[in-house]
Amino acid sequence: MRGYAFEEGRPPLINLYRDTERGLFLGVCAGIADRFGWDLTAVRIIAALFALFATAPTVLLYVVLGLVTAPKRLTYYGDREDRLWKRTRRRGSRSIG
């Protein structure tokens, strides 16, 4: 089974990805908004309007895009992030309540 294009060092055909951090369901709308620099709310409204008038094709396209696009790569912030997580581990989990 072949992996994602970025895992194999190949350039993707379309730089489309899912943004699972900002996404509500699969992150498709958030990925489209992030990729093209559009407002996320506007993309969600447009997707909802398409779903209202063409339900089956819109839902099918959304699910297919959610299954075939790669998730957005996480950003690593280097030593600052390492220090943050080491401090957090040392303190243990402190829950409120």
Annotate 22-34 with DSSP letters as a single string: T-SSSSHHHHHHH
Q: What global pTM score does this model have?
A: 0.62
In this structure, what token pair is assigned to residue 63?
């699910």
Would you state the pLDDT for residue 4?
Answer: 54
- Residue reference for tokens 């055909």: 13
Residues of the chain below pLDDT 50: 1, 97
Residues of the chain with pLDDT > 70: what percent?
Answer: 73
Q: What pLDDT is recorded for position 1?
A: 47
pLDDT at position 58: 92
**pLDDT at residue 3, as a whole number:** 56
